[in-house]
Structure 1
């Protein structure tokens, strides 16, 4: 399946008083991974919304292994779990710059029509990109 990775540096505002990334910031890292995964296919999330699709998260699971800390370079690896239908699922690994596994995660998202907020199938143009 299609995978993507992006590296970012942990910012001070993402940490607590101990310099450790606050657990509530990890979903934002996962979102960054998903948005960049789409971009790697040549699809802008903004353009997807303009064509009438939204992708709300329906479930999220994060397993924290080791803390990420201020000024650390982390890599977010995003893996498509299977070909999307009405739902799209991703697995993630977050690693430190020295290769330590910091967290693993899984998200499920649903394709919705932005006007009706009803479930719809994955847009054909995304499936076409995945088949290419």
Structure 2
């Protein structure tokens, strides 16, 4: 299992009139957490694209437990439970500053060859960096 935490502060423009983070912005927090997973492994999304691989989102699920509020620092805990194949699954647990679980979500992405627009396996370098976490 691989896990990585990222902290993001809720900005004013991400909130609604009640001071709660607008529901659509949780997907953006998922994306930031996902990008930081690659950075934690010493990789970037850009390097994957340079290798001709893109990763569109196929599915997204989310459950709102408590609101994220303006100016709170949110911890986005991203977990990968299994090694990816042509698809990769991420789980997200969001915690507020009081360490309360406020949101859970999941995304399923595919690895797509940018030239053929067909599913492909992840880059070997990515798999090699993940392998020790799943042995």
TM over 0.5: yes
Report how many residues are paired: 132
Structure 2 gaps, min length 5: none
Deviation by residue 1:93-113 (Cα, 9 ceiling, x = unmatched): 000011111100011000001
Structure 1 gaps, min length 5: none
Deviation by residue 1:10-48 (Cα, 9 ceiling, x = unmatched): 000100111110000000000001000011000111111
- State yes or no: 1:42 paired with 2:48: no
Query: 2:22, 2:128 → 1: CA distance?
Result: 38
Deviation by residue 1:51-93 (Cα, 9 ceiling, x = unmatched): 1000000000001000001001110000012100000001110
Query: 1:73, 1:34 → 2: CA distance?
Result: 17
Query: 1:25, 1:103 → 2: CA distance?
Result: 12
2:8 corresponding residue in structure 1: 8
Question: In angstroms, what is the RMSD of aligned CA positions?
Answer: 0.7
Query: Which stretches of structure 1, 4 residues or longer, exceed 4 Å deviation after superposition?
Result: none
SS state at 2:119 partner: coil
